[in-house]
Amino acid sequence: MSANHPHFHAFTDFHPLEREGLTLLSRRNLLKASLAGLAGLSLPELLRCRARAAAARRNMANGKSVILLWMTGGPSHIDTWDPKPDRPLENRGPFGTIATKLPGVRICQHLPRMAAMLDRFTLIRSVDARHSNHEPNMVFQTGNIEAAPRINPRGRMYPAIGSLVAKMHGPNHPGMPPYIAFMKSRTHLAWGGYLGKQYDPFIADQAARLPIYTNVGVDTGRMTDADLFRLPLGLSEERIRQRRTLLRDFDQLRRDLDASGKMEAMDRYGQQAVELLLGRRAQAAFDLTKEPERVRQRYGKHLWCQQALLARRLVEAGAAFVTLDLSYHPASGTWDTHGDNIPPYGGISKGLGPLLPLFDHLITTLVGDLADRGMLDNVLVLAMGEFGRTPLMGTQGSTDGRNHWPIVMSMAVAGGGLRHGQVIGATEKDGGAIKDRPVTPGDLAATIYHHMGVPLDATYSDTLGRPRYIVENGQPIRELL
């Protein structure tokens, strides 16, 4: 902990006295992670958990993975996937609707590519968001309605679905972190919680060269340094291995007295962690220059699209869960469209309007690319935020803004070998409440764990050692199975 960053992080046990935790924003902190932390990135513990799971005969790496497109701030369901074209303007909003590949199903006019391939998607229009909020955005990222830090003092302790996948499933390749996130703000993600900081996401923003955008979405023309894997001047791979050898020799005395074999195991896991730092698999996955130019052009140059391409490369290389924080600013999120008179949010026309064609390109390119590469059945793609928006526009003195609506929201699902080409659930005629087939956060979590091969009756321990089920009040969404 530090005065500037008052929370425990992945390297607390190693006393790094620096604020970054897993963000590793400087070369100096990379060195601290790589040496003081047994090659860092929490990998030794992840490798131990993978070994424990294998010993318990749990199915670990099965080739399955998840990409979560987190639309930070809460996209308007009425102005995206659940339009109400026959309602008055103040309810239906400023956008028109278009027909889709599914007979009788219409969506927003600004999602034409998605409309044309909706047979590869499932729209869920009846997601129960009554317990969700944002900053922190945790209920749907954990699948637990108690994960609400604004009202529950222990809300931050419920682990992210990605963290539980990291613990119960592990990476699909030992050279990759299991849970990776591109993050604009810490409050936009759920974390390891009760599982411990070793199950926090690997924050990847400095692992690849990416364009830098302002808080209102303007490309600055600058790029990130991508120096996460770059060794400091004067520190070679040979020196790291020499120091690792020295540490092993130092531990030999304790190992000689260790009848349990734990020291030998620690050495093995630490050595594998060094291989991650110095190896080429993770570094290559984050290197977009290794991608064919035609594929890079297909995704485009926008930051979010580049991150989507990286997400595909990461799951292809062996990551199990990747989250994209789709936000320009670190406050409540770019999709929090309260109104044009409330910067930097914007309203529906000027705030949400420019996001939809971009998102339409991003999600259809990602799903199409996964399909072309034969990966779509193994990769579950989810697109969602934390809640919907009010049925009536004009909130907070704006002309076309919509406020939070933690009653119902829509989401989109693709891939994962699930049944698609359908719409699940419905809202009332004004979009203000669920009409039929509510889907809960627990149902969503259970569906993800089912896809990943994680037993739905699995438990983890809280800080008092009490077992907690990974799924509470939820079942896999039957229409998808």
pLDDT digits (tens, 9 = 90+) for 123-136: 999 999 999 999 99
Q: What is the mean pLDDT of residues 88-106?
A: 98
List, in order, residues 6 or more apart from 102 with CB less than 8 Å away: 118, 119, 421, 422, 423
Q: What is the per-residue pLDDT across 415-442, written as a single tens digit (0 to 9) for each?
A: 999 999 999 999 999 999 999 999 999 9
pLDDT, position 50: 52
According to the model, what pLDDT value does residue 81 have? 98
pLDDT at 238: 55
At 260, the pLDDT band (50, 70, 90 cuts) reads very low
Q: pLDDT tens digits for 138-158?
A: 999 999 999 999 999 899 999
> Tens digits of per-residue pLDDT, 42-85?
445 545 555 555 454 444 557 999 999 999 999 999 999 999 99
Residue 327 belongs to domain spanning: 29-234+268-480
Q: What's the pLDDT at 266? A: 46
Overall domain count for the chain: 1
Question: Is the pLDDT higher at 353 or at 245?
Answer: 353
CATH label of the domain that carries residue 343: 3.40.720
Residue 25 predicted with pLDDT over 90? no
**Tens-digit pLDDT profile for residues 281-296:** 888 999 999 999 999 9
What secondary structure does DSSP assign to 367-415, as a single string?
HHHHHHTT-TTTEEEEEE-S-EE-SSS-GGG-SS---EETTEEEEEEEE
Residues 301-312: tens digit of each pLDDT: 999 999 999 999
In whole angstroms, what is the distance from residue 189 CA to residue 78 CA? 25
Per-residue confidence (pLDDT) for residue 7, from 0 to 100? 39
What pLDDT does residue 415 have?
Answer: 98
Residue 418: count other Cβ atoms within 10 Å of its Cβ: 18
Is the pLDDT at 11 greater than 80, yes or no? no
Q: What is the average pLDDT value for the chain, to the nearest integer?
A: 84
Over 50: is that where the pLDDT of 474 sits?
Answer: yes
Domain assignment present for 33: yes
Torsion angle in degrees (nearest 10) through CA of 316, 321, 325, 331: -160
pLDDT of 169-213, one tens digit each?
Answer: 999 998 899 999 999 999 999 999 999 988 999 999 989 999 999
Quote the tokens at residue 299: 């995704």
Residue 275 pLDDT grade (very low, low, confident, very high; cuts 50, 70, 90):
low
Q: Is residue 61 part of a domain?
A: yes
183, part of any domain: yes
> Which structure tokens are listed for 256?
């000689």
Gap between the Cα atoms of 409 and 434, Å rounded: 9
Cα 307 from chain centre: 11
CB-based contacts of 120, cutoff 8 Å, min separation 6: 367, 371, 376, 414, 415, 420, 421
| Per-residue confidence (pLDDT) for residue 29, from 0 to 100 | 47
Q: How confident is the model at residue 280 (pLDDT cuts 50, 70, 90)?
A: confident
Distance in angstroms (rounded) separating the CA atoms of residues 371 and 312: 11
What value does the mean pLDDT take over residues 98-113? 98
**Residue that wins the pLDDT comparison between 440 and 12:** 440
Among residues of the chain, what percentage have pLDDT more than 90?
A: 71
Residue 253 lies in a domain: no
Among the ranges given (6-20, 301-315, 352-366, 397-411), the one the predictor scored with the smallest mean pLDDT: 6-20
What ranges in 201-302 are assigned the alpha helix state H?
Answer: 237-256, 262-278, 281-285, 293-299
Q: Is residue 259 part of a domain?
A: no
* Average pLDDT rounded to a whole number, residues 220-235: 76
**Percent of the chain whose predicted confidence (pLDDT) is above 70:** 77
* pLDDT band of 237, cuts 50, 70, 90: low
Q: What pLDDT shows up at residue 3?
A: 41
For 319-365, what is each residue's pLDDT tens digit? 999 999 999 999 999 999 999 998 888 999 999 999 999 999 999 99
